[in-house]
Amino acid sequence: MRGSGGPRAFWEREQGPVPRPGLPSPPRGPYGSPPPAGTRSASHPEYGSPPAGPPARVGGAVASLVVAVLSLVALVAFTVWSELWFLLLAANAPGVALGITALLKIPDAPEVERYIRYTWACNFAYMAVLAVFLVSLAALAVFFVLLGT
């Protein structure tokens, strides 16, 4: 297990104590070697416990929030340009709110995963509703062009 370089192997192997930020470095033996057994333990107040699992997916939470915000910005820009203010009723506000909630839940990995899924579900539902609206708007425009000629 020690020789494999995959991410799963990294989190499953024994890590040892992890120094906390801002605290002095761990005591070292002569010539920079580790100290003798028993002088350094994970229960020492200067060291945190080894990581229990992979960190929460911060990148996934940020990506889902960026897509939600960009969809909101695009809708607002189109609404201002077309002056169809009723379109703001279909804004992706739940996606933005869930994306922010995912970022606020960072230490708790299962919660972050759940809110990332919720945010992407809102983003995809928003895109589906927008596609249906744009297709119907295009069909209506074609109908009026054919009717006018």
CA nearest to 129, candidates 91, 94, 86: 91
Element (H, E) at 79: helix 58-82
pLDDT in tens, 82-99: 888 887 887 889 999 999
- Indicate if the pLDDT at residue 29 is higher than 80: no
In the Cβ-directed half-sphere of 9, how many Cα atoms lie within 13 Å?
6
State the Cα–Cα distance between residues 135 and 8, nearest whole angstrom.
45
89-133 pLDDT, tens digit per residue, is 878 899 999 999 999 988 888 899 999 999 999 999 999 988 998
Instruction: Measure the CA–CA gap between 116 and 29, rounded to whole angstroms.
Output: 46
Domain range annotation of the chain: 1-54, 58-148
Confidence of residue 16 (pLDDT cuts 50, 70, 90): low
* Confidence category of residue 7, pLDDT binned at 50, 70, 90: low
Confidence of residue 143 (pLDDT cuts 50, 70, 90): very high
- Confidence band of 1 (pLDDT split at 50, 70, 90): very low
Kindly report the average pLDDT of the chain as a whole number: 77
| Alpha-carbon span 149 to 144, nearest angstrom | 9
| Helix and strand counts by DSSP (H, E) for the chain | 4, 2
Of residues 90, 31, 39, 100, the one with CA closest to residue 69 = 100
